[in-house]
Amino acid sequence: MNSAVRLAALACTAAVLLTGCAGSPSGGGTTPPPSSPSASPSPTPTATPTPTGSSAAAEQCEDDALSVSVTEGDGAAGSIYRQIVFLNTGTVVCSLHGSPGVSVVGQGDGTQLGEPAEGGGEDGPFVQLQPGGTAIALLQSTNIGNDGGPLADACPTAPADGWRIYPPHSFEAEFVPAEGLTACTGTRPWMRVGVVEAP
């Protein structure tokens, strides 16, 4: 056997050991590609129920579903106490939360007289109002009389036409007329309003 034939035989032997002389893969020498995993079905979303027993579940009362009134005042220890009454005139249950905005207006054109009532903030309960139901907020004012009362010179007075009241969380005010109402027109706070409560 000449050297050229011997070299070819050695090369073929090496090729058989590595990949097979004919170049084709030996049986079972390759691993089939992994099968793609079957897609898992997506879970069906479930709705989270709204708690029906919670007073916070009711929507905020719409402005046009509220009627606002103010009771006559009761005097005690230099103060006058009134109740601001919110009546649900709508057909669905709604809720109020926090304190209303209150000021006294006059001059026949809605001019604010003096300082608005200091508020009780947004703390307090959510109060549900059934159709025809009410919620109240306590309004306390200094008994200023016609001469400033205990506030004296810090409280010049003027006759007023009534109240401007913003329901809690509302930007729409309602005018509530009041006869014989006097306002403190100075810069000193003289009224305070609490949060709405069930009557």
Residue ranges and CATH numbers for the domains of the chain are 58-193 (2.60.40)
Return the C-alpha torsion angle 139, 140, 144, 150, nearest 10.
-160
Query: Residue 8, SS3?
Result: helix
Residues with pLDDT less than 50, the chain: 1-55
**Average per-residue pLDDT for the chain:** 80
pLDDT for residue 19: 42
Question: pLDDT by residue (tens digit) across 105-131?
Answer: 999 999 999 999 999 777 889 999 999
Q: Where are the strands (E) in the chain, listed by range? A: 66-70, 74-76, 79-88, 94-96, 101-106, 111-112, 127-129, 134-142, 157-159, 162-166, 174-177, 182-184, 191-193
Bridge partners of residue 129, in order along the sequence: 94
Amino acid 13 reads: T
Strand partners, 94: 129
> Closest Cα to residue 70, out of 7, 3, 163?
163
Rounded to two decimals, the pTM is 0.71
